[in-house]
Chain A
Amino acid sequence: MTTLDNAPVTGGAVIGPSMEPVGQRTHRILSRVPTGVLWLIVVLWTVPSFGLLVTSLRSEADQISGGWWQAFTDPSFTLENYDKALFSPPGGTLPFSDSFINSFAIAIPGTIIPIAIACAAAYAFAWMDFRGRHWLFIGVLAMMAVPVQMSLVPLQQLYSGGAHLTLGGSTFILIPDMDLNNKPIAVWLAHTAFGLPLAIYLLHNYIAGLPRDVFEAARIDGANHFGIFWRIVLPLAKPAIAAFAIFQFLWVWNDYLISLIFLSQNRDASPLTIQLVNLVTSRGQGTELLPAAAFISMVVPLIIFFSLQRYFVRGLLAGSVKG
C-alpha cells in the first residue's frame, strides 16, 4: 500500500492508501463471504457436539439444574457418567464396554466381507470378458435404488424360515431355514448386501481406470486372472478400497435400523446404537448417562475421520480423474 504514495498522479485523481476503486473493494468483501458462511456452518454444527461433551462431564444434579453453558460460570466436571455408562448402567442395559466390543464385532466383518466380494466383482466387471457382463453390471447398479426398508421384512422371513416353493402338492426348499435371526451373522449379511452395489460401483470405476498395458504385461509375465487381481489390482486399488472401507465402516458402526430388526432380541450381541436407545427408555432412569454414552459411541468415528481424512478426499476423487 505504501508504494502507492510514490505513484505518479494521473488525470488529477489522487489515489491514497485508504482509497481503492469501489469495484475492487466490493470484490474483496464479497470474496470473503463464502469463507464467512463456512465458518458460520462450522460453528452451528460444532456447538451442539461441544455442548454434548460438556454435559457428559457434568454430574446428574448439575445437568438438571441448568444448561451446559453454566459450566463456564460454575465449572465442575466429573467422569462419573462415563464410569457408570461403561461398567454399570441401570436397568437391563448391557454395559457400554461390552456393546462397544459388539459394535466392533459387527462393523469389522460388515466392512471386510462386502469389500472382499466387491473387489473381486469390480475386477471381473472391469477386466473379464463374459457374456451378459454389461447387463449384469447395470443390474447391480440398479440395486442401489432399492430402499433398505423395503427389503427388511422379506429378509427377516428368509432368515427365520428359508424360502419354499409349493407346486401342485409338493414343496421345494429353495433356501433352507438357517435360523439366522438375532445372530451377528444376520447383521453382517444384511450390511454386506446393502453395501455391495455402491462398493462394486466405486471400485469398478477405479479398477477400470487402471492402464490396460499393465494388465497385458502381467498376462505375458505369466499371471492368470487371480494373479493379476491379487498382485496388481489389489495393491493399485488401495486408495479406493481405503475410501470405501471408511464409509462402510462408519455406516455400519452408526447403523441402528438393521441391528434393531435382526439383533435387538439378543442383548449380549447388540451394538452401541441399540443400547443407547435402551438407556433412555428404561423408566427415565439413566438419562444423565446419555451424553456420556453418546460420546463413547462417537469416539471411533471421530478417530477414524481425523486419522484417515486424507483418504476421504483423495479416495472418492480417485477414478473420476486419472492421475
Chain B
Amino acid sequence: MAQVTLDNVNKVYDNGYHAVHDLDLDVQDGEFLVLVGPSGCGKSTALRMVAGLESISDGKLTIGDRVMNDVHPKDRDIAFVFQNYALYPHMTVRDNIGFALKLRKTPKAEITTRVEEAARLLELTELLDIKPGQLSGGQRQRVAMGRAIVRRPQVFLMDEPLSNLDAKLRVQMRAEISRLQHDLGVTTLYVTHDQIEAMTMGDRVAVMSKGQLQQVDTPQNLYDRPDNLYVATFIGSPQMNLLMGTLALDGTPHLTVGRHRLDIPPSVVAARPALRGYDGRELVVGIRPESLEDAGLDSDPGGVRSIEAIVELREGLGSEVVAHARFEGTAPRVEAAQRDPDATLTGEAGVELVARLDPRTTVKVDEAARFTVDVENLHLFDQETTLAIRD
C-alpha cells in the first residue's frame, strides 16, 4: 500500500503539445481517486505518466517514499487496467492472470493458488482454461481486473476500464470494482470521462480540463461547492443553469436576473465575505436544476425569490419532471466562450433553464410558469475569472 504524489508534473510532447500543466495531485494510501474530464484533457496522459508508459517532462512523481520519475514500469509495483483490456490473445485466462507472476519467477504452486484465488474473487473459475477470444466483454474486463489484483500491487491504475461495456454491465462492474477496491484497500487512480462513474466510485474526484487540474474534492463537495464555472457545469446532470445577474447589497441583499428580483438571505452573504466587492456588479449566477421548483408547490410569499419562464419541454420521469423553460435573461458570455470559443451567445434572447420538479407539478408546455429558486443554494461566480465567489 502506498500514497501517490504528483508534484508539479508536466507533460510536453516532442511536437510541442503541452498535455499536462503543473499537475499537483495526492492520492492517499488506500484511497480511490477518480480523474475525470472530457477527452483530450490530459487525464490519461497523467495516468500513463504514473504508470511509466509516458516519460515525465517536468516535476516529481513519488509512490510510497520513492521518486519514480525514471523507474521502469515493472519496478513501480503498480497494475494497470487498460480500456481495451489488452489481454494476451494467445494465452488462456489462467496464463493471462499469472503472466506477471511467472515473469517474476514466482514458484509454480504459488502462481496456481494466487491465480485461482483471484479467479474466485472475480467469478472466473470456470473460464480459466479458455482464451480471451471466446470471452464476452464483461468477462474480458474481469480477466483484466484479475491480472491487476493477482500481483497485489501498491497501486491500481485504471484507464476507462468500463467504457467498452454496455450500460447495464457498466453499472454492475462499477459496483464490483468499488467493492473490490474497498476489500483490497489498494490505492487506486481511476480515469474516466463519465462524471457519473466519477461521482459514484471515487472517494475523491479530480476534475481536469485542457491539461489543468480544476478541483479535487469529495464528490459531494464538488457538487455543492464547485471552485469554478468549469467544475460547476461539468459535475451534475442535467447541468447547472447559468445566467447573468446584478448584485445589490444595500437594504435587503438581492440579485436582479432579467426582470426578476431574488432576495438573498443574509446567511448566504455572510458565508461569502468576498461578495462585498461585487456590490452593484454583474456576476454569474448558477442554479442547480433541483434548486428550481414549481411555485405552485413551494410557497413564496411576496414573490421575492421566484422567476417566470415559458416551458418549452416537459419530460416526465416518474419520480420527477424535468422541465426546460426559456427565461428572459442573459446567458453568461464567459461560460459560452469556455465551451466553444466561436460561440456568440450575446444576442440570444433568453436562457434555457432546466428544472427538476416534483411529479405533482402542473406546468404545461408553451405556458408561462413560476419557479421558486432555492436561494440558500445559489452558486455565484466572477464573470472574468470564472472562479467561485467565496472568501
B104's nearest neighbour on chain A, judged by CB, is A222
Interface residues of B in 70-86 (CB under 8 A from A): 72-74, 78-80, 82-86
Contact residues in B for A231 (Cβ distance below 8 Å): 99
Asked whether any CB of chain B lies closer than 8 Å to the CB of A180, the reply is no
Which 10 A-B residue pairings sit nearest by Cβ, starting from the closest? A213-B86, A221-B100, A222-B74, A217-B86, A222-B103, A235-B90, A213-B82, A220-B73, A220-B80, A214-B86
B105's nearest neighbour on chain A, judged by CB, is A222
Interface residues of A in 205-247 (CB under 8 A from B): 211, 213-214, 216-224, 227, 231-232, 235-236
Nearest CB in chain A: distance from B13 CB, A: 14
B74 is contacted by which of A211, A214, A219, A235 (Cβ under 8 Å)? Answer: A219
Contact residues in B for A223 (Cβ distance below 8 Å): 74, 103
A221 is contacted by which of B84, B89, B103 (Cβ under 8 Å)? Answer: B103
A210's nearest neighbour on chain B, judged by CB, is B89
Contact residues in A for B78 (Cβ distance below 8 Å): 220
Interface residues of B in 47-67 (CB under 8 A from A): 51-53
A219's nearest neighbour on chain B, judged by CB, is B73
- Tally A residues with Cβ within 8 Å of B: 17
**Is there an interface contact between B79 and A220, defined as CB atoms closer than 8 Å?**
yes
Asked whether any CB of chain A lies closer than 8 Å to the CB of B88, the reply is yes
**Is there an interface contact between B73 and A227, defined as CB atoms closer than 8 Å?**
no
Give complex CA distance A218, B51 in Å. Answer: 12
A213's nearest neighbour on chain B, judged by CB, is B86
**Is there an interface contact between B74 and A217, defined as CB atoms closer than 8 Å?**
no
Contact residues in A for B104 (Cβ distance below 8 Å): 222
Nearest CB in chain A: distance from B92 CB, A: 12
Known: A211-B84, A213-B84, A214-B89. 5 other contacts (CB 8 A): A213-B86, A217-B80, A221-B99, A222-B104, A227-B103
Interface size, B (range): 20 to 34
Give complex CA distance A95, B324 in Å. Answer: 94
Give complex CA distance A223, B53 in Å. Answer: 13
Nearest CB in chain A: distance from B6 CB, A: 18
**Is there an interface contact between A214 and B79, defined as CB atoms closer than 8 Å?**
no
Interface residues of B in 81-114 (CB under 8 A from A): 82-90, 99-100, 103-104
Using known A-B contacts A214-B86, A216-B80, A236-B89, determine if residue A222 contacts B53 with beta carbons closer than 8 Å. Answer: no
Nearest CB in chain B: distance from A73 CB, A: 57
Q: Which residues of A are at the interface with B, using a C-beta cutoff of 8 A?
A: 211, 213-214, 216-224, 227, 231-232, 235-236
Give complex CA distance A214, B147 in Å. Answer: 13
Q: Which residues of B are at the interface with A, using a C-beta cutoff of 8 A?
A: 51-53, 72-74, 78-80, 82-90, 99-100, 103-104, 147, 151
A219 is contacted by which of B53, B85, B89, B147 (Cβ under 8 Å)? Answer: B53
B86 is contacted by which of A211, A222, A227, A235 (Cβ under 8 Å)? Answer: A211
B81's nearest neighbour on chain A, judged by CB, is A217
Could you write out 26 A-B pairs with CB less than 8 Å apart? Answer: A211-B84, A213-B82, A213-B84, A213-B85, A213-B86, A214-B86, A214-B87, A216-B86, A217-B82, A217-B88, A219-B73, A219-B74, A220-B52, A220-B73, A220-B74, A220-B79, A220-B80, A220-B100, A221-B74, A221-B103, A221-B147, A222-B74, A222-B104, A223-B103, A227-B103, A236-B90
**Is there an interface contact between A222 and B100, defined as CB atoms closer than 8 Å?**
yes
Give complex CA distance A227, B74 in Å. Answer: 12
Give complex CA distance A222, B78 in Å. Answer: 10
A216's nearest neighbour on chain B, judged by CB, is B53
Contact residues in A for B103 (Cβ distance below 8 Å): 221-223, 227
Nearest CB in chain A: distance from B175 CB, A: 25
A234's nearest neighbour on chain B, judged by CB, is B90
Give complex CA distance A225, B147 in Å. Answer: 20
A216 is contacted by which of B79, B82, B87 (Cβ under 8 Å)? Answer: B82
B85's nearest neighbour on chain A, judged by CB, is A213
B79's nearest neighbour on chain A, judged by CB, is A220
Nearest CB in chain B: distance from A212 CB, A: 9
Contact residues in A for B99 (Cβ distance below 8 Å): 218, 221, 231
Nearest CB in chain A: distance from B18 CB, A: 21
Give complex CA distance A214, B90 in Å. Answer: 11
Nearest CB in chain B: distance from A229 CB, A: 13
Nearest CB in chain A: distance from B147 CB, A: 7
Give complex CA distance A221, B51 in Å. Answer: 11
Give complex CA distance A277, B78 in Å. Answer: 65
Nearest CB in chain B: distance from A227 CB, A: 6
Contact residues in B for A211 (Cβ distance below 8 Å): 84, 86
Contact residues in B for A216 (Cβ distance below 8 Å): 51, 53, 73, 80, 82, 86
Give complex CA distance A220, B86 in Å. Answer: 12
Contact residues in B for A236 (Cβ distance below 8 Å): 89-90
Contact residues in B for A227 (Cβ distance below 8 Å): 103
Contact residues in A for B82 (Cβ distance below 8 Å): 213, 216-217
Give complex CA distance A221, B88 in Å. Answer: 11
Give complex CA distance A235, B95 in Å. Answer: 14
